[in-house]
Chains A and B, each alone.
Chain A
Amino acid sequence: GNSVTQMEGPVTLSEEAFLTINCTYTATGYPSLFWYVQYPGEGLQLLLKATKADDKGSNKGFEATYRKETTSFHLEKGSVQVSDSAVYFCALIHPGGYQKVTFGTGTKLQVIP
């Protein structure tokens, strides 16, 4: 079956530090990969996605590259801000027919001034 593994949190960084949140997946075929973000007290929001190998998704300074050879989709940001404090979820889905989205367990990021 499909599964997503994320690094354990919480991750605590100082403002302007470099962020990496690791995500690896297990799936047959060619899933689409997503990062969702959940700010305190809110629902999940789609942050970025990539639908095929070597694609790079990017949004709000965050980026992630679909690496089929390492089955990874690590989230990176060059300089985090306090406002980036949230829980980040890696997820996958197989397109072309119904498949529910499989989420990782989430990684909490706390950015301190």
Chain B
Amino acid sequence: GAGVSQSPSNKVTEKGKDVELRCDPISGHTALYWYRQSLGQGLEFLIYFQGNSAPDKSGLPSDRFSAERTGGSVSTLTIQRTQQEDSAVYLCASSLEGTGGRGYTFGSGTRLTVV
């Protein structure tokens, strides 16, 4: 596609429920990244994909968080048993190669609110 597409744009969920966030990167971009942006905080790195593998998942905050990528394209970030501290904007970005030297292209994000 022309840009990075994320869905849903907004998600309100009850504490304890599972949620899935979707990212559709720019066609041909092999690298894909998930970041989290909490109110008043900067961008927190979560996970990096090169193709379908995740060589760096060091930013996932707990084992409730997981992500996968299929076909070298769409990625899904899953949060199990959501907690209120998971409330944030989850941003996805893609780039042509893993170095990021050309800069990332970001999606508009999914705003997750856990009530």
Is the CB–CB distance between A43 and B91 below 8 Å? yes
- Inter-chain CA distance A82–B79, complex, in Å, is 38
- Inter-chain CA distance A21–B99, complex, in Å, is 26
Is the CB–CB distance between A32 and B48 below 8 Å? no
Is the CB–CB distance between A105 and B107 below 8 Å? no
Interface contacts (Cβ under 8 Å), in number, total 64
- Inter-chain CA distance A98–B99, complex, in Å, is 5
B4 within 8 A of A: yes
Which chain A residue shows the least CB distance to B35?
A103
- Inter-chain CA distance A32–B104, complex, in Å, is 13
B70 within 8 A of A: no
B109 within 8 A of A: yes
Which chain B residue shows the least CB distance to A101?
B100
Is the CB–CB distance between B104 and A101 below 8 Å? yes
Partner of A97, one of B93, B99, B103, B106: B99
Is the CB–CB distance between A100 and B48 below 8 Å? yes
Is the CB–CB distance between A93 and B42 below 8 Å? no
| Known contacts A44-B43, A93-B99, then 11 further A-B pairs from the complex at CB < 8 Å, ordered by chain A residue | A34-B103, A41-B108, A43-B4, A45-B106, A93-B100, A98-B31, A100-B33, A100-B56, A101-B45, A103-B42, A104-B42
Question: What is B's interface to A at a CB cutoff of 8 Å?
Answer: 4, 6, 31, 33, 35, 41-43, 45, 48, 50, 55-56, 59, 91, 93, 98-101, 103-109
Question: What is A's interface to B at a CB cutoff of 8 Å?
Answer: 32, 34, 36, 41-46, 49, 51, 89, 93, 95-106
